Amino acid sequence: MTRFTSSGNFIISKQIPLGVNLTELMKNAVSPETNKLLEQAVFDSSRSSSDIGVSEATSLEDRIYQALAGAKILTSTFAMHLDDDWRCKLFSQLDSLHDPIEWEEGDKPIQKESFITFLRLWLFIRPAKRPGLGLSFNGNLIAAWTEGQNRLTIECLPNDAVQFVLSTELGKRIVRTAGDCDVDQLLACLGPYDPGRWFRRG
């Protein structure tokens, strides 16, 4: 079910409980091998909530280091689905986002559940064009695709949820909208706006 807010945003009600088994739709959409990875990611996300890999670390540098290490270990689970070039760029962007010099008071390093949502997002849309990454102050990874006025920004939340905001040229107008949905619903939500304009090359 889709509902629109007063400002034109739309929200799709969650059809599956957060962090539990995959829907039949998802199972049919990806290969059995990918399904195993997705199920493993759901299992991982059901564990305790925290910065990735952070246990007893107290100093900022330690917490950042452990969160980054945790993200890279999680990525290795998906290694066969990420080409080497993208994996290097992903790690490089994550390192850059976690530079202590750039840290603002109160910022959190990347959160495990957000990063799992990002990896699952990647498996679902498999974009040819890669995003620029950002990090919210509460540790959610942000993926942004920008092509002039055509902009798509996706914030990866825990438990498969994403928040997206887009602007796109339709005729002479720039249309904007925003919404909340689950990873497996994202392409359906973006459908009316030709998501290939962000994800395709050329």
Partner 1 sequence: MILAAGFAVANKPIPDEHHVLRYAAWGRLRRDEDGQVIGILPQALRLRDKEPYLSVTWVEFFQGNRNGKIANAITATRASIGIKAQAKGIFALGNVAALHKTCKSQAVSAQVLHKKTASNPGHSGIYGLDKAENNLLSLLADEVFSELYP
133 touches 66 (CB < 8 A):
no
DSSP assigned state of 4:
E
Beta carbons within 10 angstroms of residue 73's beta carbon: 11
List Cα–Cα distances, 61 to 54, 100, 155, in angstroms: 11, 7, 24
Residues 6+ apart with CB under 8 A from 130: 86, 89
Q: Which of 51, 113, 155, 160 lies at the binding interface for partner 1 (CB under 8 A)?
A: 155
- Shortest Cβ distance from residue 105 to partner 1 (Å)? 8
Whether residue 142 contacts residue 156, with contact meaning beta carbons closer than 8 Å, is answered with yes
Nearer to partner 1 (CB atom), residue 6 or residue 59? 6
Among 1, 24, 104, 202, binds partner 1 (CB under 8 A): 104
Judged by CB, which is closer to partner 1: 42, or 54? 54
Residue list 62-101, contact with partner 1 (CB under 8 A): 93, 96-97, 99, 101
Residues lying near partner 1 in the complex (CB under 8 A) are found at: 5-9, 93, 96-97, 99, 101-107, 129-137, 142, 144-146, 151, 153, 155, 163, 165, 167, 176-178
